[in-house]
C-alpha cells in the first residue's frame, strides 16, 4: 500500500468495514421509506457523492488502458495476450446472454401475471408517455450509428461528454502507438501515465471513506421516489433475475477459486470492496478503481494485466447488463404473448449484447431496435419502461464487476508464464 494511503487510511479504516457500510444502507432505507421530506433534501448529497466517484472514472480508464497496452506492446506480448483476451470477452458475453435466455424461458417472468399487475404496467406506460423523449431521438441512429459513434471525431469532446466507448477506442490506439515508441521520451511518457494512474487511485481511495454516508444518501433518495410500488409490479421478474445473478456470481467465484485455490469464498472476500461499490452505486464504472486495486493487492494479479483488462471489460464485457437485457426482452415478449422462434432468439441475443455495450441513450437505441424486430412495441415509452420498471442496475453492476475480475484472472496466465520464462 502506498504511503499516502497509509497516513490517511488507517485512522478511518472503520468507515470501510462491511458493518459500517451495511448500517449506512439500512439507515438510508429507513429515511427513504419513513422520512420522505428529509430524503428529498439528501438527493443533492447523493448526486455529489456519485459525481465524486465518477470524477475519477475517466482519468483511470485513460491512464490504465494507455499504460497497460503500452507495457504489453513494449514487452512484445500483445498479440498472444490480446487474442486470448478477445476470446474470453466473446465467450463471456455469449455465455451471459445464453444464461439470461434460459432463465427467461424456464422462469417465465412475464407469464401468468395477474390482472392488477398488467393494469399497473399499463398505467406506468401512460404515466411515462408524458415525459418520453421524441421518437427521433431514440430510434433514428440504429446499429450503424452505434458503431460510427465509437470513433471520436474530437477526442476532447468525447472526454467532456463521457463517451466511454469513444474514449476507450482512442486509448487503445494511443497505447499501442506509445508502446512502439522506443525512445527515452516514450519511456518517460509511459512512466508519467503510470504516475497519473497511481495518483487517481490514491484520490479514489480517499473518496471511498465517504462510502457509508454516500450509500445512505443514495438509498434514501431512491426509495423516497420509488417506494414499493415498482417492486410489487416486477416481483416475479426480480425473483428470476436475482436467482440468475446469484448463479453467475457463484460461477465466477468458482473460476477464480479454481485458478487461485485457497478458501472457496476467498475471491469474494478479496474483491469485497469493489463488489460493494458496484452494488451500492449501481455502476461498474464507479467500481473500476477498486476492482483494479483489489486484484493487484489481494489476488496478486499482474498490475499491467489488471490495469488493461478491467477498463476494457467495463465497456466491452458487461455480462450483467447483457443478461439483464435478454431477460427484459423475454419478459416483455411473454407479456404480449409473442413466441420467439430461432430467428427471434438470435436477434435477442445479438441485439442485447450490442445494447449492453452502448452508453446511456445508445443502449436504448439498440434495445428499441431489438423490440421492433421482434414485433414488440418499440416506442420510447416502452424502452424507458423497461429501464424504470425492471431496473436492477445494482445487481447487474455487481455481476459485471465480478465477471470482469474473473476475466482478468483468466487472462493473466500467459503474461505470468512468459515473465517466468524470461527470468529463467
Mean pLDDT of 401-421: 71
Position 423 confidence tier, pLDDT thresholds 50, 70, 90: very low
Per-residue pLDDT, 369: 64
- Burial of 27 per CB tally in 10 Å (0-12, 13-18, 19+): middle
**pLDDT above 90 for 251:** yes
Between helices 393-423 and 319-335, what is the axis angle to 10°?
Answer: 150
Q: How confident is the prediction for the chain on average, in pLDDT?
A: 75
Q: What is the pLDDT of residues 20-57, one digit of tens each?
A: 877 887 888 888 878 888 888 888 888 888 788 778 77
Q: Please tell me the predicted confidence (pLDDT) of residue 91.
A: 92
Residue 292: pLDDT above 80? yes
Rounded to an integer, the average pLDDT of 261-280 is 85
Residue 383 CA to residue 363 CA, distance in Å, equals 10
pLDDT of residue 257 exceeding 70: yes
Stronger pLDDT, 403 or 50, i.e. the higher one: 403
- Cβ distance 103 to 243 under 8 Å? yes
Note the pLDDT tens digit of each residue in 334-386: 877 778 888 888 888 887 887 777 555 445 556 666 777 777 765 544 554 55
Alpha-carbon distance 186 to 305, whole Å?
Answer: 20
pLDDT band at 320 (very low <50, low <70, confident <90, very high): confident
Q: Is the pLDDT of residue 7 over 70?
A: no
Question: Which of 124-138, 160-174, 221-235, 261-275 is predicted with the least confidence, judged by mean pLDDT?
Answer: 124-138
Q: Is the pLDDT of residue 217 over 50?
A: yes
74-77: list long-range contacts, CB under 8 Å, 24+ apart. 74/179, 74/182, 74/190, 75/418, 77/414, 77/415, 77/418
Instruction: Name the percent of the chain lying above pLDDT 70.
Output: 71
* Confidence class for position 9, pLDDT limits 50, 70, 90: very low
Residue-wise pLDDT tens digits, 271-286:
988 888 888 777 787 7
What value does the mean pLDDT take over residues 63-90? 76
Q: 204 or 257, which is more confident?
A: 257
pLDDT of the residue at 317: 84
The DSSP-derived string for 5-50 is HHHHHTTTGGGGSHHHHHHHHHHHHHHHHH-HHHHHHHHHHHHHHH
CATH number assigned to the domain comprising residue 161: 1.10.3860.10
Q: What does the pLDDT average to over 392-407?
A: 81
Per the listing, cell 421492433 goes with 372
Q: What does the block give as the cell for 308?
A: 488493461
What is the mean pLDDT of the segment spanning 299-306?
84
- Band (250; pLDDT cuts 50, 70, 90): very high
Average pLDDT over residues 217-244: 71
List, in order, residues 6 or more apart from 205 with CB less than 8 Å away.
5, 9, 289, 293
Based on the structure, what is the number of domains in the chain?
1
The whole-number pLDDT of residue 136 equals: 38
Residues in the chain, total: 424
Query: Which uninterrupted H or E stretch holds 10?
Result: none
Segment 112-168, tens digit of pLDDT: 766 665 555 555 554 444 444 333 333 344 445 555 667 888 888 888 776 766 787
Please name which of 262, 274, 254, 267 lies closest in space to residue 299, comparing C-alpha atoms.
Answer: 267
pLDDT at 381: 45
Cβ neighbours for 172, distance < 8 A, ≥ 6 positions apart? 65, 69, 312
Range of the domain at 161: 3-423
Amino acid at each position: 500500500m502506498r504511503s499516502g494511503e497509509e497516513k490517511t487510511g488507517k485512522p478511518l479504516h472503520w468507515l470501510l468495514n462491511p458493518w459500517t457500510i451495511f448500517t449506512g444502507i439500512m439507515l438510508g432505507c429507513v429515511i427513504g421509506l419513513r422520512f420522505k421530506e428529509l430524503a428529498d433534501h439528501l438527493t443533492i448529497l447523493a448526486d455529489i457523492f456519485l459525481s465524486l466517484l465518477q470524477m475519477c472514472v475517466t482519468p483511470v480508464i485513460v491512464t490504465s488502458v494507455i499504460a497497460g497496452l503500452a507495457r504489453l506492446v513494449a514487452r512484445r506480448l500483445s498479440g498472444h495476450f490480446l487474442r486470448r483476451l478477445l476470446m474470453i470477452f466473446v465467450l463471456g458475453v455469449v455465455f451471459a446472454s445464453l444464461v439470461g435466455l434460459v432463465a427467461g424461458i424456464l422462469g417465465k417472468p412475464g407469464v401468468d401475471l395477474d390482472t392488477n399487475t398488467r393494469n399497473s404496467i399499463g398505467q406506468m406506460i401512460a404515466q411515462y408517455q408524458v415525459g418520453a423523449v421524441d421518437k427521433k431521438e431514440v430510434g433514428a441512429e440504429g446499429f450503424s450509428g452505434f458503431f460510427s459513434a465509437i470513433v471520436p471525431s474530437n477526442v476532447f469532446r468525447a472526454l467532456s461528454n463521457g463517451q466511454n466507448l469513444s474514449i476507450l477506442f482512442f486509448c487503445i490506439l494511443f497505447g499501442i502507438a506509445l508502446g512502439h515508441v522506443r525512445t527515452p521520451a516514450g519511456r518517460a511518457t509511459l512512466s508519467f501515465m503510470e504516475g497519473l494512474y497511481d495518483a487517481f487511485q490514491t484520490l479514489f481511495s480517499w473518496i471511498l471513506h465517504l462510502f457509508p454516508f454516500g450509500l445512505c444518501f443514495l438509498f434514501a433518495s431512491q426509495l423516497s421516489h420509488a417506494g414499493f410500488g415498482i417492486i410489487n409490479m416486477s416481483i416475479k421478474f426480480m425473483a428470476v433475475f436475482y436467482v440468475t445473478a446469484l448463479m453467475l456470481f457463484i460461477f465466477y467465484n468458482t473460476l477464480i477459486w479454481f485458478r487461485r485455490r485457497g478458501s472457496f469464498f476467498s475471491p469474494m472476500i478479496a474483491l469485497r470492496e469493489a463488489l460493494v461499490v458496484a452494488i451500492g452505486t449501481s455502476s461498474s464504472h464507479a467500481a473500476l478503481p477498486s476492482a483494479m486495486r483489489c486484484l493487484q493487492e489481494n489476488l496478486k494479479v499482474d498490475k499491467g494485466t489488471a490495469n488493461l483488462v478491467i477498463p476494457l471489460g467495463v465497456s466491452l464485457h458487461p455480462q450483467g447488463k447483457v443478461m439483464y437485457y435478454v431477460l427484459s426482452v423475454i419478459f416483455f415478449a411473454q407479456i404480449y404473448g409473442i413466441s420467439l422462434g430461432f430467428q427471434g432468439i438470435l436477434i435477442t441475443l445479438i441485439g442485447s449484447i450490442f445494447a449492453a455495450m452502448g452508453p446511456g441513450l445508445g443502449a436504448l437505441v439498440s434495445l428499441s431496435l431489438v423490440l421492433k424486430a421482434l414485433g414488440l412495441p418499440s416506442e420510447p415509452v416502452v424502452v424507458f419502461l423497461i429501464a424504470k420498471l425492471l431496473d436492477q442496475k445494482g445487481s447487474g453492476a455487481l455481476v459485471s464487476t465480478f465477471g470482469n475480475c474473473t476475466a482478468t484472472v483468466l487472462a493473466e496466465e500467459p503474461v505470468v508464464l512468459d515473465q517466468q520464462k524470461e527470468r529463467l
